[in-house]
Amino acid sequence: MKLKDIAEKIGARIRGDGDCEITGIASLENAAVGDVSFLSNNRYRGHLRDTHASAVILREQDADEFTGNVLIMDQPSAGYGRAALLLAPERETVAGTHGSAVISPSASIADSASIGPYCVIEDDVHVGARVDLGPGCTLGAGCVVGDDSRLVARVTVCAGSQIGKRAVLHPGVVIGADGFGLTNENGIWKKIPQLGHVVLGDDVEIGANSCVDRGALKPTRIGNGVKIDNLVQVAHNVVIGDHCAIAGCVGIAGSARLGKRCSIGGGVGILGHVDITDDVMVTGMTFVSKSIDKAGIYSSGSPLETNQQWRRNMVRMKKLDELAKKVAHLEKQMHGKKG
């Protein structure tokens, strides 16, 4: 594509040769002639001097740091995403059903849908227009998959689950498996039937091998535009508000509720039955043990340090209770003398 065509489609202002031919997209460090790149993180600013990219997407204040062609945008990372879709478009769905698929006679499948090898579609399933089911996907009885959704491969959607429009579920995703519902009777764990289901909104994307459990009685709900990374566990009856982003290896325990536009860093643990309000960011490896009722950025845990220093700190930490008692005693003595 010509650079001027890319600029028009991604909403950028161009500085330089609009007729420059662009054939790919790459990082500043790895870009070659013909590639477009971008800068959105200051730690990579040094690569602007050495990059071979034919054009770079930059903010207005950074444009003069690159002597070549520039696409100027307020959010270069958003421009990168739009350019990537132009230069590496997703393959179009080819309608049809592979001969190895097993489909119930009561299932309703749009003529424009694509059903891949070894898919299993059970009773009363509804598959919408232009849905793409990759190899080995299973849809349990009564499931609904909305228009233009893509289940990449080996995705399991258990009975009664509802997938919205334009969803992307990556390999190994499981939607609607039983929640961890147990009761302890005299030291023995007994299973509680999980009678709810899962409802995914529109434009949801879920990464490889992530799981969203069905509710115990009412649905587990994932809002519109939610993006979930790989290896994330969403337990039964969780509610996640619209446009949240959840990074890898997060665990969200049962009946937790996240508001809209929350960002959850990698490895975060969220305790069950807590409520998190809108516009909260939780940084990586944080443990959320209580509700958050005010928007902002939250963190917990201690950062990395040398083993020697960590051991010293742990020894001192074990003495904190003793130290606190001594300080309280001294304060009491001081107040007594003042009196």
Active-site positions read 236
Beta-strand runs (E) in 209-283: 211-213, 220-222, 227-228, 233-234, 239-240, 245-246, 251-252, 257-258, 263-264, 269-270, 275-276, 280-282
Q: Give the separation between CA 36 and CA 66, rounded to whole angstroms.
A: 13
Residue 198 in 3-state DSSP?
A: strand
Q: Provide the β-strand partners of residue 275.
A: 257
Distances (CA, A) of 129 to 94, 111, 173, 242: 12, 7, 21, 24
Angle, to 10 degrees, between the axis of helix 320-338 and the axis of helix 307-318? Answer: 50
Q: Give yes or no for a contact between 175 and 198, defined as CB atoms under 8 angstroms apart.
A: yes
Question: Cα(219)–Cα(199) distance, rounded to whole angstroms?
Answer: 7
Residue for token pair 């062609």: 69
* Beta strands 188-191 and 182-185, pairing class: antiparallel
| d(C-alpha 254, C-alpha 266), whole Å | 19
219 contacts 185 by C-beta, under 8 angstroms: no
